[in-house]
Structure 1
Amino acid sequence: MNHHPKRRILAITFLFLIGFCLSAFSVSAQDYYVYVAAESEDEVHLIKLDGETEKAEIAKTITVGRYPTETDGPHGINISPDGEYWFLSIAHGNPYGYLAKYKTGTDELVATTDLGMFPASMEISKATGLLYVVNFNLHGDMVPSTVSVVDPEFMEVVTDIETGIMPHGSRISDDGTKHYHVSMMTDELYEINTGALQVSRKLNLRKGAKKMKEMDHSKMDHSQHQANGMKGMDMKMHKPEVKPTWADPHPTKPLVYVAGNGSDEIIEIDTEKWEITRRLKSGKAPYNLEVTHDGKLLVASYKGEAATGIFDLKSGKEIAKVPNSRKVTHGVAISADNKYAFLSVEGIGGEPGSVDIINLETNKRIAVVETGKQAGGIIFWKQEG
């Protein structure tokens, strides 16, 4: 009789531990969602990954574009900071492209606004609330292009900021005050002050290039702006060496990482000193890259190697190279918990694109989801469970 209370206590403790373990398991079993654009299909797919089984599928396909009989070419994609909307750059227009705003969840089109020639990557600043999108100008003349600044609530262009030739790969610092992008044809990294709405600095990324001083645009008259524009036009005669295609700021340190698509390297820039601090040897033709949210790893897509490189940023070493499911690797998106990397892979010819999913704890590809043709722009939306 005296042992019964002890047995009851042990039984209750045992049940509590089982419940705790089940609860902990249910918390870890997350579902992950990413959006990916199929550029040659005029579709955007919502991809769902089951974090328990690590199986993935297309949860939804959204048809996009204005012209049913033509390929509009959805290219860049991003999510608003509050997760309520997603934004899509439509690259091919008549002749200009445009920006489309959709509601997450329902995926209904909310509004559009016209942009420049071949608008590409974009992001919304946490500091200003404005959206900054580079106009890549893929099919236009080799002249300086622009960054369009858009009010995402009213979907109106606030201003266009002149920048380099064929700008691409734009991302904003975590505090929202600095916008970084690269000029592919002039081998430069550009920094825009998001509040002042002007270029604050640019850096030549070639080996042996001289450091350029910070520019004070408030003291420049119109003739000086024109002279700088002409200088940019003159630079088109020089063959680019680095051919930078992407820039991503470190989440906690004053660093920006650039993909050297033509020089097969990842370039690290100290934004306080405004100079290159490291050149990390990469696979062939790195195209996009993203730093994990904890700042420990960098994941780079190798467009010329059908592979994904994973770097340890402390050592600067590539710790894994993961083969992709098909050729022409494109974009990178990393889950909020840093567990998974999602890679869009274009494929070639008439074959479909895909989203390859890599477990960053094991550095192994754990799932492949076939998509529409030429999977390109990709962005992580949310995880839940």
Structure 2
Amino acid sequence: MSFKRAFYAMMIGGFLFMGTSNSFAQDYYLYVAAESDDEVHLVHFNAETQKGEISETIRVGTWPQENEGPHGLTISPDGSHWFVSIAHGMPYGKLWKFETGTNEFVGEVELGMFPASMDISASTGLLYVVNFNLHGDMEPSTVSVVEPESMIRLGDIKTGIMPHGSRINSSGTRQYHVSMMTDELMEINTETLEVQRRLKLSEKDMSKEMSASTDHSGMDHSGMNHGEMKHKPVEKPTWADPHPSKPLVYVAANGSNEVLEIDTKNWKVTKRWETGKAPYNLEVSHDGKLLVVTYKGEGATGIWDLDSGKELAKIKNSRKVSHGVAISADSKYAFISVEGIGGEPGSVDIINLESLKRVDVVETSKQAGGIIFWKQEG
């Protein structure tokens, strides 16, 4: 079991011990990064009143005159620290560490170009963060490995072109991430620190030369240099998340408007579900029953039943550009970061996964992106 899921399980166990009565009020806490304002918000949601609010705003970055872009977030195994990737370094980004609760800065370490999503392994205790390399040449990038206690970067693992969404399986032995520009799912052995397997996700021939007119409008990423690109991506995968108890990984195929299910035992795609436009981020609920998917291209979130493979609901988000997903430890709520467009603020949309309705919207600073659940109390 991964550190994150182990922590969630511990939290849930405490609630089950107290009983299942609805008379207990629940308070949920999460962090969300506002990438265009160099801020991270601590968000509190009260399940009794069905209202959320920003409890605290934490400034990040070194240079007030520059936008340094907090992007990905994760929480330490014991819940005592949170980590954020600072994407827009010159040229390299950084990983910053803070205390939860006090939100005091602890330390930092330099990473690769445009570090993005990250997770911590229950097996090794190490943090693995992908370097998305958004503004660099179209060439293979890396996954940086960090010892989170000392904040020492141990090394880099070579991977595909523009790696993005990444998560570690429940045992902590394998890290999964996608390579957006080579249409691949990557599996890293967290102990040997090597890419163990690569899976081509596209059913189509990728050997054709890529034209300079490739459309990335669904991704909403500007400034890409395609001069070094050799293949035309079809799926353009943007996120991967393992099932908490089954040998399955789910992938958001942003380019083909699909969610892919991958059997990790047989290492093949077993299901393809047609989705809303430009699925971007996804997460499996901690009870393993639901899959929550953001549709970046249409400002909506899909809720899928994993047993039937059916979309139970498509919920319109509060703004047009949907981004990240974080699900509460008890699998009752999904928290969706929504970027907004231009100078408008971002938001966190709170969805009740039992009623399949949006219950509240919390306004944030601009371009709400990376989001991670911290804890629940009550």
Structure 1 length-normalised TM:
0.87
Q: 1:95 to 1:366 in 2, by over 3 A?
A: same
Once the two structures are TM-superposed, the CA of residue 157 in structure 1 deviates from its matched residue by: 0.6
Q: 1:234 to 1:55 in 2, by over 3 A?
A: closer
Paired residues of 2:204 and 2:234 also in contact (CA < 8 A): no
Unaligned runs of 5+ in 2: 1-17, 207-225
CA displacement, residues 146-173 of structure 1 (integer Å, 9 cap, x when unaligned) = 0000000110111100000000001000
Q: Output aligned runs, 1:1-385, within 5 Å.
A: 24-27=21-24, 29-207=25-203, 236-385=229-378
Query: 1: CA distance between counterparts of 2:205 and 2:305?
Result: 27
Secondary structure of 1:366's aligned partner: strand
Paired residues of 1:186 and 1:236 also in contact (CA < 8 A): no
Once the two structures are TM-superposed, the CA of residue 247 in structure 1 deviates from its matched residue by: 0.1
Query: 2: CA distance between counterparts of 1:328 and 1:166?
Result: 21
Q: For residue 252 of structure 1, what is the amino acid of its counterpart?
A: S
Query: 2: CA distance between counterparts of 1:105 and 1:350?
Result: 30
Query: 2: CA distance between counterparts of 1:117 and 1:26?
Result: 49
Percent identity among equivalent residues? 70
Once the two structures are TM-superposed, the CA of residue 94 in structure 1 deviates from its matched residue by: 1.1
Q: 1:320 to 1:257 in 2, by over 3 A?
A: same
Report the structure number with the largest CA radius of gyration. 1
Q: For residue 21 of structure 2, what is the amino acid of its counterpart?
A: A
Q: 1:206 to 1:234 in 2, by over 3 A?
A: farther
Query: 2: CA distance between counterparts of 1:300 and 1:144?
Result: 27
Q: For residue 275 of structure 1, what is the amino acid of its counterpart?
A: K
Once the two structures are TM-superposed, the CA of residue 82 in structure 1 deviates from its matched residue by: 1.0
Q: 1:23 to 1:204 in 2, by over 3 A?
A: closer
Q: Which residue of 2 aligns with 1:215?
A: none
Paired residues of 2:138 and 2:227 also in contact (CA < 8 A): no
Secondary structure of 2:21's aligned partner: helix
Query: 1: CA distance between counterparts of 2:265 and 2:175?
Result: 15
Once the two structures are TM-superposed, the CA of residue 236 in structure 1 deviates from its matched residue by: 2.9
Secondary structure of 1:24's aligned partner: coil
Once the two structures are TM-superposed, the CA of residue 372 in structure 1 deviates from its matched residue by: 0.3
Structure 2 length-normalised TM:
0.88
Query: 2: CA distance between counterparts of 1:249 and 1:162?
Result: 21
Query: 1: CA distance between counterparts of 2:304 and 2:65?
Result: 43
Once the two structures are TM-superposed, the CA of residue 68 in structure 1 deviates from its matched residue by: 1.1
Q: Which residue of 1 aligns with 2:3?
A: none
Instruction: Give the RMSD, CA atoms, in angstroms.
Output: 1.7
Unaligned runs of 5+ in 1: 1-20, 211-232
Once the two structures are TM-superposed, the CA of residue 24 in structure 1 deviates from its matched residue by: 3.5
Secondary structure of 2:229's aligned partner: helix
Q: 1:25 to 1:320 in 2, by over 3 A?
A: closer
Paired residues of 1:38 and 1:45 also in contact (CA < 8 A): yes
Query: 2: CA distance between counterparts of 1:343 and 1:301?
Result: 8
